[in-house]
């Protein structure tokens, strides 16, 4: 079989090649305009890169490749994931094929010969075209019958036009191929082209059809390429870049704020606290807003949105994208979202976990919250009381009837002694001041004593400041954290066991940036370690029955600790999983300061409690006192039995004395 001849049956075909030059320039100009928009954002402070997540400056090649190019997250939804895969990988293959044709024309690269022609240029490119067409049809149909997450609060426009355009490019490509084959000979491997040639296109008109479709295909393809940066398809470029520039460590990564300029008499400009307008955001956030496809996966998993609250993480990003598109840089944005919505966020990070293009929605929401609290003094009443209490009493549990030492009444708990005690057992505010949580502290003390661990608590009760941070008061957080760091230094504290994931998150994520570096271990992981080391004698007959485990957001999604608590539970009972677990876990509703919120709509804790009870578990295990309090309350809607217990309480129940040898 003779090799394909460039520009066969075409006069002046070089025109298409020449038109490609301005098209590429238009494409690059479109990207330049995107950059001009993103560049208006503030330069972010470059965070230090840990050895675990090495990158080039703030760019992370592994995340760029895995999340941006391989689109690892998109396949969590199989239908749209596969359709997207067909479209993306089909286009990549066609792009390679088109470039091979160019190399054939310019350098005579023999791509149209032998097996390579048969399997790649004919079969694979036909297959790729077909896959792209399948993807296009899927996405066009979905635009026709849009699911709620795409429609609400608003659907992104432009997909139908660009999808149809791509569909026409592919169809004209197939017709052109069919006409070429019909005029000549069928080609082994070109199964779509052969089909068109033998079934649809007659030999009589093949040459004319080929000429016509060659030009139409070429011009449409060029128009499509030029249009990409001005259409939603610009995400082909922006999404991988956004993935690459997103810090791949888990969680929201709020960082800490430096308030020294406020005390500096010579400071020329005081930094904005939080954000209330577009220009307050960094380039990375601008990239977030530009990369967003408005797919709505974030709002679909959002506990606030799922329980009829006004917050939609998609809505927040869409609003910002529209402001960016209209270059409304200095108009206040907070007014276009309700304060209620901004404080609805539980900071559970489910939205950013599910986002296929690595957008950090909670960070944008938290920046608004910081502005409301620190610049405008606005905060919902109950949260305001919690913040005031934290400021006045160093704990947020206003109106508590519990004294600071009540949780350890009649229990001998050692106090941390500098130079003698190994671990500081950090009790935290919820265990100290909420009666239901007292037993967690008591159980943990018993576990540590039985395992002969050298530990001690602080004489006075403390809070890490996390509630203030989550409610947007970074200033109060910094004050509390700095005081704790000072006191820890004077006590020579190096190792800390935390009872609450929020404290763990503060100690590991935020305290090091303020100069407090410690070896911190969550109590669930510490118990697992004690079991592994044989320091706990557990009744392992699994008489604990069916136990389901609720992943606390600050331990799981924010810090990647999923397995240790499950292993502990499996020692004493039969672990059964809820439908949403591990990184897809559903929040208890207490995060982001929402423990002190008057909820509207369905209560999040009741929703999660129902999900837990649906497993027919006898016990709901948690590893966070706030989750315990929320779920204890949530369960009350369905049963009078106490079902939620902390891992420490469960283990304590199954502890046996180690026989003396």
Partner 1 sequence: MHIAVLAKVVPDYEVPSMDFELSNNRAHERFSRMLGLYDENAIETGIQLKGKTSSSLTIISYGLESDIQFLRKGVAMGADKLVLVKGTSDDAGIIAQNLKQAIDNLEDVDLILAGQQSADMDRGVVPGILAQMLGTAFIPQVGYIDYKNGDWTVSQMTATGQRELEFQGPGVLSITSIPENVPRIPAVRAIFAAKKKPVIKLNGIEQGKMPLQEISVEIPKIESVCEFIDAQDPNEAVKSLLTRLSEERYI
Tell me which residues touch partner 1 (CB under 8 A).
259, 262-263, 270, 273, 373-379, 381, 384, 387-389, 391-394, 398-406, 473, 475
Q: In sequence order, which residues have a C-beta less than 8 Å from that of residue 44 and are 6 or more positions away?
A: 58, 282, 283, 284
Q: How far is the CB of 616 from partner 1 (least distance, A)?
A: 30
Calculate the alpha carbon distances from 131 to 91, 92, 176, 524 in Å. Answer: 9, 11, 18, 47
**What element of type H or E holds 127?**
helix 125-144
Closer to partner 1 by CB, 304 or 387: give it.
Answer: 387
Q: How far is the CB of 627 from partner 1 (least distance, A)?
A: 25
Closer to partner 1 by CB, 375 or 618: give it.
Answer: 375
Q: How far is the CB of 344 from partner 1 (least distance, A)?
A: 19
Q: How far is the CB of 372 from partner 1 (least distance, A)?
A: 10
If you compute the radius of gyration of the chain from its CA atoms, what whole number of angstroms results?
A: 30
Closer to partner 1 by CB, 215 or 398: give it.
Answer: 398
Count other C-beta atoms under 10 Å from residue 18's C-beta.
10
Measured in degrees and rounded to the nearest 5, phi and psi for residue 425 equal -90, 105
- DSSP 8-state class, residue 282: B
Q: How far is the CB of 375 from partner 1 (least distance, A)?
A: 6
Task: Give the HSE-up count for residue 284: Cα atoms under 13 Å, Cβ half-sphere.
Answer: 19
Per the structure block, which two tokens stand in for 549? 């485990």
Closer to partner 1 by CB, 268 or 657: give it.
Answer: 268
Q: How far is the CB of 377 from partner 1 (least distance, A)?
A: 5
Instruction: Point out which residues pair with 655 in neighbouring strands.
Output: 538
- Triad 567, 349, 522: Cα angle to 5°: 35
Closer to partner 1 by CB, 76 or 385: give it.
Answer: 385
Q: In sequence order, which residues have a C-beta less than 8 Å from that of residue 93 and are 6 or more positions away?
A: 124, 125, 127, 128
Instruction: Point out which residues pair with 574 in neighbouring strands.
Output: 546
Closer to partner 1 by CB, 336 or 402: give it.
Answer: 402
Strand pairing class (537-538; 655-656): antiparallel
Closer to partner 1 by CB, 399 or 659: give it.
Answer: 399
Q: How far is the CB of 436 from partner 1 (least distance, A)?
A: 16
Q: How far is the CB of 474 from partner 1 (least distance, A)?
A: 8
ω before 345 within 30° of 0 (cis)?
Answer: no
Closer to partner 1 by CB, 399 or 419: give it.
Answer: 399
Closer to partner 1 by CB, 214 or 433: give it.
Answer: 433
**What element of type H or E holds 646?**
strand 644-646
Q: How far is the CB of 399 from partner 1 (least distance, A)?
A: 6
Closer to partner 1 by CB, 9 or 378: give it.
Answer: 378
Q: How far is the CB of 471 from partner 1 (least distance, A)?
A: 10
Closer to partner 1 by CB, 265 or 533: give it.
Answer: 265
Closer to partner 1 by CB, 225 or 272: give it.
Answer: 272
Closer to partner 1 by CB, 208 or 435: give it.
Answer: 435
SS3 61: helix
Contact 589, 346 (CB under 8 A): yes
Burial category of 472 from C-beta neighbours within 10 Å (exposed 0-12, middle 13-18, buried 19 and up): buried
**What element of type H or E holds 86?**
helix 78-107
Calculate the alpha carbon distances from 250 to 273, 395, 535, 538, 587 in Å. Answer: 24, 27, 31, 33, 16
Q: In sequence order, which residues have a C-beta less than 8 Å from that of residue 196 and are 6 or more positions away?
A: 174, 175, 177, 178, 179, 181, 182
- DSSP 8-state class, residue 657: P
Q: How far is the CB of 404 from partner 1 (least distance, A)?
A: 7
Q: How far is the CB of 310 from partner 1 (least distance, A)?
A: 21
Closer to partner 1 by CB, 365 or 373: give it.
Answer: 373
How far apart, in whole angstroms, are the C-alpha atoms of residue 467 and residue 591?
A: 9
Q: How far is the CB of 640 from partner 1 (least distance, A)?
A: 15
Calculate the alpha carbon distances from 392 to 12, 13, 389, 512 in Å. Answer: 82, 79, 5, 25
Contact 215, 172 (CB under 8 A): no
Per the structure block, which two tokens stand in for 264? 């500096």
Q: In sequence order, which residues have a C-beta less than 8 Å from that of residue 661 and are 6 or more positions away?
A: none
Closest CA to 473 of 374, 394, 347: 374
Q: How far is the CB of 434 from partner 1 (least distance, A)?
A: 13
Q: How far is the CB of 263 from partner 1 (least distance, A)?
A: 7
Per the structure block, which two tokens stand in for 107? 């350098």
Closer to partner 1 by CB, 98 or 376: give it.
Answer: 376
Count other C-beta atoms under 10 Å from residue 291's C-beta.
28
């Amino acid at each position: 079989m003779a090799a394909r001849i460039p520009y066969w049956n075409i006069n002046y075909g070089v025109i298409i090649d020449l038109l490609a030059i301005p098209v590429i320039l238009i494409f690059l100009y479109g990207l330049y305009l995107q950059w001009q928009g993103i560049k208006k954002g503030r330069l972010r402070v470059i965070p230090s890169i840990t050895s675990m997540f090495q990158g080039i400056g703030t760019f992370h090649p592994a995340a760029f490749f895995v999340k941006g190019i391989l689109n690892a997250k998109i396949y969590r939804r199989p239908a749209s994931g596969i359709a997207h895969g067909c479209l993306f990988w089909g286009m990549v293959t066609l792009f390679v094929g088109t470039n091979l044709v160019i190399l054939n024309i310019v350098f005579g690269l023999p791509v149209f010969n032998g097996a390579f022609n048969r399997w790649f240029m004919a079969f694979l490119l036909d297959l790729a075209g077909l896959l792209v067409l399948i993807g296009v049809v899927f996405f066009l149909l979905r635009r026709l019958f849009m699911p709620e997450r795409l429609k609400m609060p608003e659907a992104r426009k432009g997909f139908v036009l660009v999808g149809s355009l791509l569909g026409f490019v592919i169809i004209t490509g197939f017709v052109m191929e069919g006409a070429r084959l019909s005029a000549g000979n069928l080609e082994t491997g070109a199964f779509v082209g052969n089909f068109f040639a033998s079934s649809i296109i007659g030999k009589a008109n093949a040459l004319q059809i080929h000429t016509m479709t060659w030009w139409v295909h070429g011009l449409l393809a060029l128009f499509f390429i030029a249009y990409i940066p001005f259409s939603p398809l610009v995400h082909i470029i922006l999404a991988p870049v956004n993935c690459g520039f997103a810090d791949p460590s888990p969680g929201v990564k709020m960082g800490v704020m430096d308030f020294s300029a406020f005390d500096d008499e010579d400071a020329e400009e005081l930094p904005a606290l939080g954000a209330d307008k577009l220009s307050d955001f960094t380039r990375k956030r601008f990239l977030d807003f530009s990369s967003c496809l408005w797919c709505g996966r974030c709002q679909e998993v959002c506990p606030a949105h799922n329980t009829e609250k006004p917050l939609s993480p998609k809505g927040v990003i869409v609003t910002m994208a529209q402001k960016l598109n209209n270059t409304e840089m200095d108009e206040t944005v907070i007014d276009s979202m309700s304060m209620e919505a901004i404080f609805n966020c539980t900071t559970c990070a489910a939205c950013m976990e599910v986002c296929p293009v690595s957008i950090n929605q909670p960070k944008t929401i938290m920046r608004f919250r910081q502005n409301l609290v620190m610049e405008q003094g606005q905060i919902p009443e109950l949260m305001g009381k919690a913040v005031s209490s934290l400021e006045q009493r160093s704990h947020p549990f206003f109106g508590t009837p519990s004294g600071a030492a009540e949780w350890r009444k009649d229990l001998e708990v050692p106090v941390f002694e500098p130079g003698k005690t190994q671990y500081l057992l950090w009790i935290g505010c919820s265990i100290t001041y909420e009666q239901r949580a007292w037993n967690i502290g008591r159980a943990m003390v018993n576990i540590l004593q039985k395992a002969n661990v050298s530990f001690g608590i602080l004489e006075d009760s403390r809070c890490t400041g996390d509630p203030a941070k989550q409610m947007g008061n970074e200033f109060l957080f910094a004050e509390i954290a700095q005081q704790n760091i000072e006191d820890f230094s004077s006590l020579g504290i190096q190792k800390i066991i935390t009872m609450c994931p929020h404290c763990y998150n503060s100690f590991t994520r935020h305290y090091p940036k303020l100069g407090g570096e410690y070896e911190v271990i969550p109590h669930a992981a510490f118990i697992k370690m004690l079991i592994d080391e044989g320091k706990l004698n557990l009744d392992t007959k699994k008489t604990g029955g069916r136990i389901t485990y609720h992943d606390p957001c600050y331990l799981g999604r924010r810090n990647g600790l999923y397995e240790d608590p499950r292993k502990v539970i499996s020692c004493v009972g039969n672990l059964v999983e809820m439908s949403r677990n591990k990184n897809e876990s559903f929040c208890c509703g207490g995060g982001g300061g929402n423990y002190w919120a008057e909820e509207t709509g369905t209560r999040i804790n009741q929703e999660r409690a129902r999900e837990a009870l649906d497993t027919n578990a006898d016990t709901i295990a948690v590893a966070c006192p706030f989750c315990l309090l929320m779920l204890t309350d949530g369960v009350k809607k369905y049963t009078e039995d106490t079902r939620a217990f902390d891992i420490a309480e469960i283990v304590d129940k199954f502890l046996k004395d180690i026989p003396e040898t």
